[in-house]
Amino acid sequence: MKQRRAGIVLGTLLVATTASATTARDASIAAMADRLAAQGVDRGYVLDVMAQAKTLDSVLNAMRRPAERKAWRDYRPIFLKPERVTAAQRFYETHRETLVRAEATYGVPIPVILSIIGVETYYGRNKGSFRVIDALSTLAFDYPPRAEFFQRELEQLFLLSREETLDPTSLKGSYAGAMGFGQFIPSSYRAYAVDFDRDGTRDLIGNPVDAIGSVANYLAVHGWDANYGIAAPVQNGAAAVEKMEAAVRVERSKDSLVALGVQGIPEAWSALPLDVLGLQGANGDEHWVVTKNFYVITRYNRSPLYAMAVTQLASEINTALGL
Ligand SMILES: [Ca+2]
């Protein structure tokens, strides 16, 4: 009897928890629909699209196991492969004029643009197979650590879809809702995408010309400086590193780093704000002095490992293209 009663109480609690989660979700969706309606998006349309959104365990699993949690020695080989450099060369041959125009327009070097598109999607080969609406709604309502962020992106998706005449129920992207050759999330797409072939639409998914211009524009707006390099290996850098493989701020002077014993900082960088990044390499710890441009790459993806992979792949592409 006691057991039976405990069972009933537990059952009631479970039902209550599920019901309140559903209510909270419905309330969030209703509030989002209200905000979108105030901006002229049909409220019923928003609710109809959201009713088609599926919660995906595969999205939650991918979010909990990002590649960026690996050490540099295991992360680097994922991206620094000869085949990716070959693919970059092919993409360059196909889109040479566009890349030259993007570098001239935005001041971002061709190998850096190529490297980002290569790391993000292997030149459009892997643009993501999740429905963006499913990915974003899963993370918005079933992933509490980033719920606020992804609820904003979900709302941005509706605004983007209206602006660019996209169907939010058929758009595909990554498990985090990033789309197209350069993997832009909806807010970035709205803010930084450019119509680089001037056909009247900003298409980052089907149009490599728009995607190339948009990646360059993204880096330019975030402060890319054509006069800076990106990163250079240094010796005796350990004392300048607080935490290995941690984010860099790039607010230190060359003199302050030299005073800590760092050796090998390029002469040309004497007057630039710098930082030192420590990485766990295949042959032990590595130390790199980095400039503001390295920081700009981390505006694309916060991980310093990502930024270093982009930097090193860009260098290999640069060599391969003879630029
Ligand atoms: Ca266009």
As given in the structure block, the two tokens for residue 47 are: 């609710």
Residue 17 has pLDDT above 60, yes or no: no
Residue 164 has pLDDT above 80, yes or no: yes
pLDDT of 5 reads 47
Q: For position 19, what pLDDT does the model report?
A: 61
Task: Tell me the average pLDDT across 163-180.
Answer: 97
Distance CA 277, CA 233 (A): 9
Residue 320, classified by CB atoms within 10 Å of its CB into exposed (0-12), middle (13-18) or buried (19+), is middle
Domain boundaries defined on the chain: 2-65+128-221
Backbone angles phi, psi at 11, to 5 degrees: -60, -45
Global confidence as pTM = 0.91
Instruction: Tell me if the domain spanning 2-65+128-221 has CATH number 1.10.8.350.
Output: yes
pLDDT at 24: 87
Mean pLDDT over 244-254 rounds to 95
Produce one character per residue of 217-237: b if its CB has 16 or more CB atoms within 10 Å, e if not. Answer: bbbbebebeeebbbbbebeeb
126 half-sphere exposure, CB direction, 13 A CA radius: 10
Distances (CA, A) of 20 to 147, 150, 177: 16, 20, 26
| pLDDT value at residue 13 | 52
Model confidence at 1, pLDDT cuts 50, 70, 90, reads very low
The answer on pLDDT for 307 being more than 60 is yes
Long-range contacts of 37-42 (CB under 8 A, 24+ apart): 39/159, 40/162, 41/158, 41/159, 41/162
State the pLDDT confidence band at 16, using cuts at 50, 70 and 90. Answer: low
Q: Flag whether pLDDT at 6 surpasses 60.
A: no
Ligand 1 center from residue 30 Cα (angstroms): 33
In this predicted structure, the answer to whether residue 204 has a pLDDT above a threshold of 70 is yes
If you measure from the C-alpha of residue 44 to the centroid of ligand 1, how many angstroms do you get, rounded to a whole number?
Answer: 30
Contact of 230 with 238, CB cutoff 8 Å: no
- Number of separate helices (H) and strands (E) present in the chain: 13, 5
- Distance from the alpha carbon of residue 162 to the mean position of ligand 1, in angstroms: 16
256 membership: H or E segment, kind and range: helix 254-259
Distance 194 CA to ligand 1 centre (A): 7
* pLDDT digits 0-9 by tens, 84-140: 999 999 999 999 999 999 999 999 999 999 999 999 999 999 999 999 999 999 999
Known catalytic membership, residue 120: yes
- Mean pLDDT over each residue of the chain, to the nearest integer: 94
**pLDDT at residue 160, rounded to an integer:** 98
Q: Can you give the C-alpha Rg of the chain in angstroms? A: 23
- Tokens (6 digits) for 37: 């309606």
Distance CA 37, CA 206 (A): 29
- Say whether pLDDT at 3 is over 90: no
d(CA 112, CA 307): 11
Which residue among the candidates 103, 120, 245, 316 is catalytic per the annotation?
Answer: 120
Query: What is the C-alpha separation between 20 and 14, in angstroms, rounded?
Result: 10
| 166 CA from centroid of ligand 1 (Å) | 14
Task: Report whether 152 contacts 140 (CB < 8 A).
Answer: no
**pLDDT range class, residue 263, cuts 50, 70, 90:** very high
The whole-angstrom separation of Cα 135 and Cα 176 is 6
The alpha carbon of 100 and the centre of ligand 1 are apart by a number of angstroms equal to 17
Mean pLDDT of 200-229: 97
Share of the chain above pLDDT 90, in %: 90
Start-to-end Cα distance in the chain: 81
Q: Could you give the CA distance from residue 315 to residue 323 in angstroms, rounded to a whole number?
A: 10
Q: How far is the CA of 176 from the centre of ligand 1 (A)?
A: 24
Q: Could you tell me the distance, in angstroms and rounded to a whole number, from the CA of residue 119 to the centre of ligand 1?
A: 23
> Among candidates 195, 153, 161, which has minimal Cα distance to 41?
161
